[in-house]
Amino acid sequence: MTQKFGPATLAIPGPSTAPERVLRAMHRASPNIYEGELVDMMPGIVADLKAVARTAHDVSIYICNGHGTWEAALSNTLSRGDQVLVLATGRFAQGWKEMGESLHLKARMIDFGTDAAVELEQVAAALAADTDHQIKAVLCCHTDTASSVRNDIAGLGQLLSDTGHPALFMVDCIASLACEPFEMDRWGVDVMITGCQKGLMTPAGMGFVFHGPRAWAAHETADLRSGYWDWESRARPKMFYQRFCGTAPTHHLYGLREALNMLVHEEGIEQVWARHERNARAVWAAVDHWAEQGVVQPNVADRANRSTAVTTLRLTEGSVVPLRRWAEEEAGVTLGVGLGLDINVPRGDNLFRIGHMGHLNAHSLLGTLAATEAAMLATNTPFHPGGVAEAIKVYAAV
Ligand SMILES: *Cc1c(COP(=O)(O)O)cnc(C)c1O
């Protein structure tokens, strides 16, 4: 017998749960793409996206996922053979690096491991050693979604500006935008990329690249530019259709409009960040309690280095497969798979992830945590019971 019938919950770190309102906004007839509502709504969408990114600069919008924005960021600013410095704290910066290598960039990586954040001193040393400015761009993930490490983007931006190194600063905020405080302009970020399916609560299918004046200057000489990905007409279109290099993602734009109404105009982005932080503290309260005994550990020990959008848990012994299966089949909660962080466990069966990004509150997240605790109990996974009670205290503020 299964007990999963009832509302299903997706607790993976992207795609996140799309609110009913967003889905309903998308359920409509195809619109006129030459004039009228869709075209008129575009300036407001651009303004609201920039408000979420905290930038006064430009945004290029693509019909693509996060991987597409990796390519767009690099191809608009760099040339064949250019060197990039990749700061890795999990798996996703490596993915960006591989995308760069496929574009014939030379990538140098500093690997900070899979449970700690970027160390500014090491980056400072690498930049100082690069006296002839071979490094054209520094690439970093704000949140690495595999490890759930969150990096100090403000600190890195300050460091780049203090050293005076001319490299562009590019940040992957695919898992963090609208989940963590982020200030593109104040923190000195030249290029920021994100997708619509995580903090922006819209079904997967749109990617965004935000870019400032230093990135525009690099764009002038970048020889990796290509017709479809080029910013030129996307960011500053003379005609509506140029923004998307063809037909607009019509229904996604209606969904995104509704999501931005919720995030920017109803809740307010700072309140969105505060909600994520409280949700994250509830998850950490549960996880740190579970970890007091048994085999379940948070992947990132130091709370200061933890993402507020996703938490990776590690079993020091055994496999997460039965636990994830129980949660899905018996409790209707789909937990995130582990992405291999250990060479000797390539499939990541020692890890699982709780996504806490997007449309979530005490009710939904406590459900996920309780189902996770039940799954550990049901599968005889040794842990310290009572984590959910600790999470409840975070919400009740006692
Ligand atoms: C999800 C994610 C990606 C990949 O996005 P896709 O839409 O799956 O291509 C890249 N980087 C980070 C940090 C992510 O969280």
What's the confidence (pLDDT) of residue 12?
97
Query: Residue of the nearest CA to atom 5 in ligand 1?
Result: 66
What's the confidence (pLDDT) of residue 286?
98
By most ligand atoms within 8 Å of CB, the mutation choice from 174, 198, 312 for ligand 1 is 174
Encoded tokens for 68: 């597409």
* Ligand 1 nearest atom to the CA of residue 207, by list position: 7
What are 127-154's pLDDT values in tens digits? 999 999 999 999 999 999 999 999 999 9
Question: Mind giving me the DSSP string for 118-156?
Answer: PPHHHHHHHHHH-TT--EEEEEEESEETTTTEE--HHHH
* Ligand 1 nearest atom to the CA of residue 204, by list position: 7
> Does ligand 1 lie within 6 Å of residue 140's CB atom?
no
The CA 244 to ligand 1 mean position distance, Å, reads: 21
CB 356 within 8 A of CB 309: yes
Confidence of residue 308 (pLDDT cuts 50, 70, 90): very high
Domain ranges of the chain: 9-16+268-396, 20-265
> Does ligand 1 lie within 6 Å of residue 68's CB atom?
no
**Whole-structure pTM value:** 0.97
Strands (E), the chain: 9-11, 58-62, 83-88, 106-111, 135-141, 143-144, 149-150, 168-172, 191-195, 207-211, 296-298, 310-315, 333-337, 351-355
> Does ligand 1 lie within 6 Å of residue 172's CB atom?
yes
Q: What angle do CA 352, 356, 357 make, to 5 degrees?
A: 125
What are 388-397's pLDDT values in tens digits? 999 999 999 9
Could you name the CATH architecture of 9-16+268-396? Answer: Alpha-Beta Complex (3.90)
What's the confidence (pLDDT) of residue 358?
97
> Does ligand 1 lie within 6 Å of residue 255's CB atom?
no
What's the confidence (pLDDT) of residue 398?
73
> Does ligand 1 lie within 6 Å of residue 152's CB atom?
no
Instruction: Report percent pLDDT > 90 for the chain.
Output: 95
What are 217-241's pLDDT values in tens digits? 999 999 999 999 999 989 999 999 9
* Ligand 1 nearest atom to the CA of residue 142, by list position: 13
> Does ligand 1 lie within 6 Å of residue 202's CB atom?
no
Whether residue 347 has pLDDT greater than 90 = no
Q: Report, as an integer, the average pLDDT of 304-330.
A: 97
Query: Residue of the nearest CA to atom 2 in ligand 1?
Result: 174
What are 46-85's pLDDT values in tens digits? 999 999 999 999 999 999 999 999 999 999 999 999 999 9
Whether residue 280 has pLDDT greater than 90 = yes
Encoded tokens for 334: 């789909």
Q: Is 234 assigned a ligand-binding role in the annotation?
A: no
* Ligand 1 nearest atom to the CA of residue 92, by list position: 11
What's the confidence (pLDDT) of residue 364?
95
> Does ligand 1 lie within 6 Å of residue 91's CB atom?
no
Sign of CA dihedral 101, 208, 153, 310: negative
Q: Which CATH number fits domain 20-265: 3.50.50.60, 3.40.50.10480, 3.40.50.300, 3.40.640.10?
A: 3.40.640.10
Q: Report, as an integer, the average pLDDT of 364-378.
A: 98
* Ligand 1 nearest atom to the CA of residue 67, by list position: 9
> Does ligand 1 lie within 6 Å of residue 66's CB atom?
yes
What are 181-205's pLDDT values in tens digits? 999 999 999 999 999 999 999 999 9
How far is the CA of 133 from the CAs of 93, 138, 225, 295, in angstroms? 21, 12, 22, 47
What's the confidence (pLDDT) of residue 348?
82
By most ligand atoms within 8 Å of CB, the mutation choice from 12, 92, 118, 202 for ligand 1 is 92
